[in-house]
Amino acid sequence: MLIKKVIKSNKNIIKLFNKQSIDYVKINLSNHFNDFSTSTKSWVPTESSVLQKVTTQALIHEVSLQQMDASAKWVPWFLKNLPASYFRQVPESTRKQHLKAIIALKELQSELSLSIETKHDNGSSEKTYIITDNTPGLLHRQIKSLVVPKDSRLSNVKVFSSLEDKLALNIFFFEPVNGLKTTASNSDAEIILQFIKSNDLNKFVIDSSNTDLSIFTENAITDYLSKCTPSYVINSDPRRFIIQRQLYEKVKGTENTSIHIEPLINKQTNSFGSWITIVSANALPEVLLRLSSAIISNKSLDISRAHLDTVKDDDNEMGPGMPGYVTMLRLLVSDPKRPGLPLDSESNEIKSLLKDLKRSKWLDDEVTDLGLVKYPTLGIDKAEIAISYISLLHGPLAKINSQAYASIKSIIQIVTSNNSHILIIESISELFLDRFNPKLNPLLTNEAFDSRYNNIKLKIDRIANESVKIVLAKILDAVKYT
């Protein structure tokens, strides 16, 4: 490695000057150590400690120049490509950490990721993932592997994508299970309060038949703020805050979930899609986020932004000193098949998506694992039918073979051991759905049902594995006699 240097002889101090001023001095230390040791020049260091110092300082100088060049290249990119919401919601000190990490990843020019973990004195913590491979389903893959710290809960999530959609920056916040004492105040909500006073709230009512505008009086808002975190209030757009306040009122003190969808087209920031707001009472935030992201990914849709917050629910206490919470989850979802457009909320596909999101908290882990993770083509509805019948038949099957059918999980493993078995499960589930679908046109007649039943039975009879054959035949018969 070529090293540029000049030696100040009267003080025996080595100083490194800028590149232009020392182009005439180039020394390759790795090739010329012997020359140094035998030279009679008075300004050439001969002691190994001095040589080590020269090498160290020269390397520091070279790396510093490289870092300056990288910063000059990527700082403008960072300022231009991260969304405005990122700069509003993330503190400057944290943004500087992120910038350093992004420069390192960009310079490596490889699809890599890294995480930054920060612990705070009040017991809270946060973990940031920065990824250069921003492919659909990324958020769900992260959530699946997310480990919540002991005695903590996920309290806040912020998901950002660069405007060119090549980098994802996701921040997960955790707080102690007994919550933090800091709550929002009227000063935190100054912009929101001013907005409420100066606007006709009827324009923001999402359900005219079931909305009481008294929840927006000054006293009511002050009480509500005492249940919110400062970051949630400060970073909330006033209009969205009003919408979420209405959704909170619908679900507090219950086990319910409420959904709201609105289009987003912002050509200035190149943001397109639809904001889906999911407000769910008494749901673990990490579970709701994991299930929601899995359902959306299963529909071949993309999540480019996400915000998760929790609001106290005094009517749903989990135990002494453990307040209940309502989880506020907002997801910016887009359809790659509709670039530059919001979701088609009137389509059957999106209606089905919203229905699945609304009931996601009630889905069994076995259902989501089978229908969303292992066999995404199966989907939730068919997986739920299959798991329901397997659970129903566990007792009778155990009497046939207590070892092979020892548990529901063991039966699921038996019938999902081969892709051909999954196709049969899918056919049986479709038969069930069509039989009880009043909107099917034409309706499924008894003759059509029997024909499909017999075709499935023929496929089951060809299976060599007796244990699998028995289970599938029992499920098929159960559907027939339901």
Give 305's contacts (C-beta < 8 A, 6+ positions apart): 83, 85, 159, 160, 161, 271, 330, 331, 332
pLDDT at 181: 64
C-alpha dihedral sign at 450, 452, 458, 459: negative
pLDDT at 326: 94
The phi and psi torsions of 14 (rounded to 5 degrees) equal -95, 125
Structure letter (DSSP) for residue 148: P
DSSP string, 306-363: EEEEEEEEGGG--BTTB-EEEEEEEEEEE-TTSTTS---TTSHHHHHHHHHHHTGGG-
pLDDT at 478: 96
Query: Parallel, antiparallel, or unpaired for β 271-281 and 257-266?
Result: antiparallel
The answer to whether the CB of 51 falls within 8 A of the CB of 58 is: no
pLDDT at 270: 67
Residue among 387, 466, 452, 394 at smallest CA distance from 422:
387
Query: Which pLDDT tens digits describe the chain residue by residue (482 residues)?
Result: 333 333 333 333 334 334 444 443 344 444 444 444 444 556 566 667 777 887 888 888 888 888 888 888 899 999 998 888 889 888 898 899 899 988 888 888 777 788 888 888 888 888 998 888 767 777 877 877 788 888 888 888 888 888 776 788 989 998 887 766 678 999 999 999 999 999 998 888 888 777 788 999 989 999 999 999 998 999 899 999 999 999 999 999 999 999 999 998 776 666 789 999 999 999 888 889 989 998 998 888 988 888 999 999 988 877 776 778 999 999 999 998 888 889 998 998 999 999 999 998 888 888 988 998 888 889 899 999 999 999 999 999 999 999 999 999 999 999 998 899 999 999 999 999 999 999 888 899 999 999 999 999 999 999 999 999 999 999 999 999 98
pLDDT at 109: 75
Amino acid, single-letter form, for residue 458? L
Cα–Cα distance measured from residue 46 to residue 41, given in angstroms and rounded to the nearest whole number:
10
The answer to whether the CB of 124 falls within 8 A of the CB of 281 is: no
Give 222's contacts (C-beta < 8 A, 6+ positions apart): 186
pLDDT at 424: 96
Instruction: Write down the residue that tokens 């390397």 correspond to.
Output: 59
Helix (H) or strand (E) holding 240: helix 238-251
325-357 tens-digit pLDDT = 999 999 999 998 888 889 998 998 999 999 999
Cα–Cα distance measured from residue 222 to residue 216, given in angstroms and rounded to the nearest whole number:
9
Cα–Cα distance measured from residue 283 to residue 273, given in angstroms and rounded to the nearest whole number:
26
pLDDT at 211: 78
